[in-house]
Amino acid sequence: MMRICGGCSSSSPPGSALRRILLQSRRAVAEFGLPVIVLLPKVATVGLVATTRFLRGQGQGMTGATAASGDKASDRKLTFILGGARSGKSTHAETLTTALPSPWAYIATAQAYDDEMRERIALHRSRRSEGWVTIDAPLDMVGAIAALPDHQPVLIDCLTLWLTNQMLAEHDVEAECRRLMDVLSQPRGPWFVVSNEVGLGIVPDNALARRFRDAAGRLNQQVAAIADSVLMMVAGLPLKVK
């Protein structure tokens, strides 16, 4: 959440202050995708109305009044967070999700096949405070998403583990991806989806790994195409792609 104060001195024209506030708000929305609370203690009421309309037009910002009312129509958005291993994608996705009112749904796709994976799962769980509702969905992620109430913030982590599970179970990967896309294309609240970018390294030396790399790349493209916002994590920093 970003807070922008619009206080102005008696010598500062309200119109000038309003233009400055609008510019700051636009930058916050465009660069970071952050909800914005605008404080206008000394600007006329007409300025507050104009600022509210401007932020709504951006599709992301919310004034305090809008946030209080929930603005249910504007919260149906899909944010796609990509990155390599240890790029900070899960942590950033959790930060974005917890900036919204709880409870937050965490749809986990990992399966504890060995001690290393158990440690990774435990690390992720240790970061989640009260307010999180964890749903394990290594295979039926579509069913888990469909069962969630409208307007609830949802974090899906991650698509590539879900894809791995589908391939190891010898399911029809293309059919399962189509089912997933049907659900993700109609978000019923603020949904955040995490996935790995696996196509930047060397060509895998076996057929299964190459098939996984190609399937993950295609799935990432499909999700990015329908997402309202796409972020690429690099060394813990989010780069806005869309």
Total Cβ atoms within 10 A of residue 232: 19
**For 71, what's the count of Cα atoms within 13 Å in the CB-facing half-sphere?**
21
Q: What is the pLDDT of residue 151?
A: 96
Which amino acid appears at position 201 of this protein? G
Instruction: For the domain covering 76-240, report its CATH number.
Output: 3.40.50.300
Q: Name the burial class of residue 100, with classes exposed (0-12), middle (13-18) and buried (19+) by CB atoms within 10 angstroms of its CB.
A: middle
Which residues 6+ apart lie within 8 Å of 211 measured at CB? 167
pLDDT at 152 over 50: yes
* Residue pLDDT, tens place only, 7-37: 444 444 444 444 454 445 445 444 444 444 4
Catalytic residue selected from 92, 124, 151, 171: 124
pLDDT at 219 over 70: yes
Q: Is 92 a catalytic residue?
A: no
- CA dihedral defined by 238, 161, 178, 175, rounded to 10 degrees? 160
pLDDT at 100 over 50: yes
pLDDT at 163 over 80: yes
Average pLDDT rounded to a whole number, residues 164-191: 97
pLDDT at 189 over 90: yes
Q: What is the pLDDT of residue 9?
A: 41
Delimit the domains of the chain by residue range.
2-69, 76-240
